[in-house]
């Protein structure tokens, strides 16, 4: 198995990811995972805004260890827990594909952008580092998606605005800043469609729901 020096979290790859949606492999990238176990003696170090590294507690976190779980596998647990943000996104995808698929998550891959557990429910730009972008690219190379759906405005500068692999930033206004494309990534020979939307937990999600669905529909259902 290839080593991922920058990445901590292991993406959750759905059982039918390779089959995809309308033949397209879809990677969903959220913002961050957070910890609210403030009484844990390791909380300050594990969620340190300076160190930005939870890996030392991968198998020793008291909360996870008692369940035989690992911190780095949180993308899998988050989907299994069906938090509200994931339910909202699932509703969006059902609207887009108009499908009776029992579990849409089995047809996509999922991870979060920030590569350590953050200490607050909100994600702040100060939590981001170069490591996160490197991990993002490593995940693209491993999973070879045809499209990426990125959640939230906090990570958008890293994922899109300052991303050297975006080839058509000048075309963004044509899709109301939803759609652009990535190319020339070492290890990837095809163009990846990048769709950036509001985070499902944001106040803008419901207001923008139909517009987002329209643009996703254009991308996913196209030939």
Give me the helices (H) in 105-192, please. 130-143, 156
What pLDDT is stored for residue 131 in this prediction?
A: 96
Whole-Å CA distances, 173 to 69, 143, 177: 44, 28, 5
How far is it, in rounded angstroms, from Cα 70 to Cα 66? Answer: 10
pTM to 2 decimal places: 0.95
Nearest to 22 by CA among 180, 210, 217: 217
**Does position 158 have pLDDT exceeding 60, yes or no?**
yes
Sign of torsion over alpha carbons 145, 147, 33, 92: negative
**Does position 173 have pLDDT exceeding 80, yes or no?**
yes
How far is it, in rounded angstroms, from Cα 220 to Cα 223? Answer: 8
**Does position 221 have pLDDT exceeding 90, yes or no?**
no
How far is it, in rounded angstroms, from Cα 8 to Cα 61? Answer: 15
pLDDT band at 10 (very low <50, low <70, confident <90, very high): very high
pLDDT in tens, 124-154: 999 999 999 999 999 999 999 999 999 999 9
Residue 199: CA atoms inside 13 Å, Cβ hemisphere, count? 18
**Does position 1 have pLDDT exceeding 50, yes or no?**
no
């Amino acid at each position: 198995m290839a080593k991922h020096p920058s990445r901590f979290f292991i993406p959750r790859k759905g059982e039918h990811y390779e089959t995809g949606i309308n033949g397209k492999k879809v990677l969903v990238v959220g913002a961050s995972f957070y910890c609210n176990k403030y009484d844990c003696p390791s909380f300050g170090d594990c969620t340190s805004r300076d160190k930005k590294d939870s890996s030392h507690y991968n198998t020793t976190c008291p909360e996870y260890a008692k369940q035989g779980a690992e911190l780095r596998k949180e993308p899998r647990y988050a989907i299994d827990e069906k938090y509200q943000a994931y339910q909202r996104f699932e509703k969006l995808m059902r609207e887009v594909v108009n499908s009776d698929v029992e579990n849409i998550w089995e047809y996509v891959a999922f991870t979060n952008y920030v590569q350590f557990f953050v200490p607050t429910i909100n994600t702040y730009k100060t939590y981001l580092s170069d490591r996160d972008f490197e991990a993002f690219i490593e995940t693209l190379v491993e999973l070879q998606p045809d499209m990426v759906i990125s959640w939230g405005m906090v990570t958008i500068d890293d994922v899109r605005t300052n991303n050297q692999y975006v080839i058509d930033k000048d075309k963004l206004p044509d899709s109301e800043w939803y759609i652009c494309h990535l190319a020339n990534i070492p290890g990837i020979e095809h163009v990846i469609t990048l769709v950036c939307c509001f985070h499902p937990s944001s106040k803008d999600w419901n207001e923008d729901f139909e517009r987002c669905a329209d643009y996703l529909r254009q991308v996913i259902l196209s030939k």
